[in-house]
Every structure is written in structure tokens, then in C-alpha cells.
Amino acid sequence: MSVLDRFEITTAECHQRYGDIEVGTEIGQTAAVAGRIMLRRVQGKLTFATLQDATGRIQLFAPTKTTPDYDDFCGLSLGDWVRVSGEVMKTRKGELSIKVAQWELLASARRSFPDKWHGLADPDTRFRQRYVDLWVTEQARQTFQMRSKMMSLTRRWLEERRFIEVETPVFHPVPGGALARPFVTHHNALDMTLFLRVAPELYLKRLVVGGIERVYEIARVFRNEGISTRHNPEFTILELYWAYADYRAIMELLEELVVHLAVELRGTTKLSYGGRELDLTPPWPRVRFIDLLTTHSGLDVNLNTPLEDLRSHCVDREILVEDRWGPGKLLLELYEKTTEPELWGPVFVCDYPKEVSPLAQEHRDHPGWVERFEAILAGRELANAFSELTDPDEQRIRFEDQAAELAAGDAEAMALDHDYLRALEVGLPPTGGLGIGMDRLVMLLADVPSIRDVILFPTLRPECPQSSE
């Protein structure tokens, strides 16, 4: 008998097959289940227990006369793994049960296990001990099941539109693809410095150069930055690139994908997040960055506004200003201080300053701006997208500007990537690119407040003192 043959049925299958039997009856059919003991109550010569597996729960009905090693069964601890077989029945109170005829202890829980009445109340303990949290917190199980299904749905949706999934390097010789501080490591055999990727963008666009016209990766990326309810140093991003498309086409694609996932996972486009309504019904508003900034800040500013005036506006709002910042960076700082916190969405914030968008194509109608959008949903950035910069000469100038920022102390600036420039010289067709924060999308669809709720093992401060407790 194989290992798989031993576990004949899940608790969910048991309820599905036998849930309709009459109250107070035994049906003469035997089932075997395996899982953890989550509740147990001894009533003299009869013991009831609740067994839970990955699919749900079922009651165990254990009379002393027919249950082997009855005293040992009564002594099982919460969390013990057992295999039980016996006749399927429904008690007089209408509880579908398995009448224990055989049982086997598979593994003991040597640490105390929370019961369903108390669970894990401390969030930090929940995140550190996810192996316990998943048993005692129903929402945690549902959230991670939703996450898995969302990833699967996303892949199928993209494949139906002829996008090809690929895998690109995690170790990068040159950090790039996003304005973010990288983690640094060293490869001993090659005696070279490497960086954990902050984004897969530059490798994916190399593949478009190579003729893969619709390409995507669901990538784990790493950014050496702060931790918050929205940020974890290690997170998951979907990046895709679509030859012959621009950022307008990407807006439509993003709308369609998010709506598809909402309908499949929540059954509607009208969601509630944190108790506030969020209607995903397309089309989402498209509003220029500068128009939103003017409306929410009350300032009449633009790229042509004198630098001293922009700096003064920043200082008035307690924004620390670097002398080397140009008008585009100052406008972005004002936007992030005065405007972005006021947005709920969904809304596409369109057309950013070129100065803060080193990989985006200059706008066809507005010099100094680029064809870029950020999608804001539930008050936070969900996605960032461009019409991609394809001119290698212009890209070199942008990289050199970024390298100067890096040398001046901006740890988030990009380095000059000569191989990527070589790829552009081979020829990148007009391309639309998109990056979606998949953790934030799960947060939105599952209606949970913290990114730690959607990452199985989030980055946490070490326990102090370090111990095995």
C-alpha cells in the first residue's frame, strides 16, 4: 500500500459525499481521514474530537467500547497528527462524524497548540509562527489560498493573450530597472560583486529585443529599504512587456486583468477595502500628474516654475530638499506629500516628469514629461507602467544622469548598464511595459491591512534575545 492510499478521503470530500445523510444514522460505509486534533472533550465513556486537515474539519466520535486504546485517545494533545478510520455517521445533534474504529498517532505536537477559541492574538507571533497561524486563523488560510489562485488565474489570463512566461537572473552584475537601493553580495569563485535584483525589467526588455514580443515574469525582487504595512524587503512583482504597444494599451490591459481577478475571486467589481468602497468597474479615470498636483496642493506649478519657488514650496511642507534636485524631482516630492495620500482610486496618474523616469519614453505631446502612469487603488500604488524608452543614445544620457546621482549619494539611483545599451543598439521596437505589486493586489482582493498578511514568511526584526522559545 502506498502512502497516498492510506489517506482515503479529505474532510471536505467527506462532507460532500455524506453531508446529506439523516440525523442519528450510521450508513455502514467506512472512511479514513488524517489531520490534526484541534478540539477534544472527554465525557466519561465517550470522547468527541475535531480533526482538521487542509480542506476543513470533521468530528470524531469515540465510544470507549469500540475505540482501541481509548485512554490513549483521550490523552491526545491539541495539535497531534492522527489518522482515523471508522464508520461515517451523523449524531443526533446533526454533526457529521467518523465513529473511531482504528486510529494512529502520526506525529506529536510537543509545544502547546492554541485552540479555536483563543487562536493567536498577537500579530507578531502570527507572522513568526505561520506554521501555527495557518491552523488556527481561518482568514490566514483563506488569504493564502486566494493568493495561490490569483497567481494561477493571472498566468492563464496572460497565456490566453499569447504572453510567454520566463525566468531571468536574480543576481545582477549591475543594479537597475527601478529606483531602489539593492542588496549587495559577493561571488567568491568569480571574485565579483553582485546585486539581488530590484526589478527584472532590463532583462525582460532584452528578450523583446530577442524577438519574444509578449513576455512576462512573476518575480521575487529585493529592495534594501524600510518595512511598513505596504513594504517588505522581499516581495513579488509581475512585470510584462508588449511589443508594438504603448502605455495607453497597457492601461486597458491592466484594467481588464484586475477586473478579471476581482470577478473570479470576489464575484464582483464593487469591493470594500478597510470598510471603504472601491468600484473597479472600467474605465478608470485617466488624469495627468500635474493636474492632480495642482488640484490637491493648490499650487500653480509646472516644470517651468523657477527652482527657488519649487524649493520654497517643498520647505513650507517640511520636505527635505537636495541642492542637486531639478524641477521634476521637486514636483514629485510635492506630489507625494500633498496629493498621493489624498487619492483613493481607481485612477491612472499619467505623464510624470522625465527627470524621475529614466526608462520611459518622452511624451509625444509634452516635452519634459514621459508616457508613464501609476495605477492607484485603495489609496496606494498598485502598478507602474511606461511606453518604454527605445533610443540607446537617449538611454545612455539618462543612465549617465543616474550614475551622477548615485555618485552624489543617492543609493536608489541606477548604474550605467553597458550591456543593456548594447541590446538597445540591436533594436528594441516600440514597447509597453508594466509592473504590478502582486502582494498589494492580494491585500486588495482579500481586504487585509498589511503586506505581512499576504506573505507567508515576512521579514521581521530578530527575536531578542535569540532563543528556541
Say what the pLDDT of residue 8 is: 79
Say what the pLDDT of residue 96 is: 96
Higher-pLDDT residue of 454, 467: 454
SS3 label, residue 15: helix
What's the pLDDT tens digit per position in 124-145?
A: 889 999 999 999 899 999 999 9
In angstroms, how far is CA 360 from the centroid of its own chain? 25
At 167, is the pLDDT very low, low, confident or very high (cuts 50, 70, 90)?
very high
Residue 323 scores a pLDDT above 50: yes
Report the mean per-residue pLDDT for the chain: 94
In angstroms, how far is CA 73 from the centroid of its own chain? 41
Average pLDDT over residues 270-287: 97
Residues 6+ apart with CB under 8 A from 169: 197, 203
Q: Which residues pair with residue 287 across a beta bridge?
A: 349
Contact by Cβ (8 Å): 440, 448: no
Location of each CATH 2.40.50.140 domain in the chain:
11-107
Residue 463 scores a pLDDT above 90: no
Residue 105 scores a pLDDT above 50: yes
Class assignment of domain 138-285+345-465?
A: alpha beta
Total residues found in the chain within this entry: 469
Please tell me the distance from the alpha carbon of residue 383 to that of residue 33, in angstroms, as a whole number. Answer: 44
Q: In a 10 Å sphere around its CB, with 0-12 CB exposed, 13-18 middle and 19+ buried, how is residue 133 labelled?
A: buried
Contact by Cβ (8 Å): 439, 451: yes
Residues 6+ apart with CB under 8 A from 226: none
Phi, psi angles (nearest 5°) of residue 363: -60, 140
Residue 464 scores a pLDDT above 80: no
Average pLDDT over residues 27-47: 93
Closest CA to 181 of 6, 411, 339, 10: 411
Higher-pLDDT residue of 120, 369: 369
In sign, the C-alpha dihedral spanning 15, 21, 23, 25 is negative
Higher-pLDDT residue of 7, 327: 327
Name the range with the highest mean pLDDT among 22-26, 168-172, 463-467.
168-172
418-423 long-range contacts, Cβ below 8 Å, gap at least 24?
419/174, 420/174, 420/176, 420/202, 420/205, 420/206, 420/395, 421/392, 421/395, 421/396, 423/205, 423/206, 423/209
Q: Which residues pair with residue 84 across a beta bridge?
A: 33, 103
Taking the CA of residue 208 as centre, how many other CA atoms within 13 Å lie in the half-sphere pointing to its CB?
A: 32
Contact by Cβ (8 Å): 230, 448: no
Average pLDDT over residues 277-296: 98
Say what the pLDDT of residue 5 is: 47
Location of each CATH 3.30.930.10 domain in the chain:
138-285+345-465
The DSSP secondary-structure symbol of 305 reads: S
Say what the pLDDT of residue 249 is: 98
Provide the CATH topology of domain 11-107: OB fold (Dihydrolipoamide Acetyltransferase, E2P) (2.40.50)
Of the chain, the percentage scoring pLDDT greater than 90 comes to 91
Average pLDDT over residues 39-47: 93
Residue 4 scores a pLDDT above 70: no
What's the pLDDT tens digit per position in 200-230?
A: 999 999 999 999 999 999 999 999 998 999 9
Say what the pLDDT of residue 119 is: 59
Q: What is the pTM of this model?
A: 0.92
Of the chain, the percentage scoring pLDDT greater than 70 comes to 96
Average pLDDT over residues 271-298: 97
Residue 183 scores a pLDDT above 90: yes
Residue 120 scores a pLDDT above 80: no
Residue 1 scores a pLDDT above 50: no
What's the pLDDT tens digit per position in 417-444?
A: 999 999 999 999 999 999 999 999 999 9
Say what the pLDDT of residue 250 is: 98
Residue 405 scores a pLDDT above 70: yes
What's the pLDDT tens digit per position in 353-375?
A: 999 999 999 999 999 999 999 99
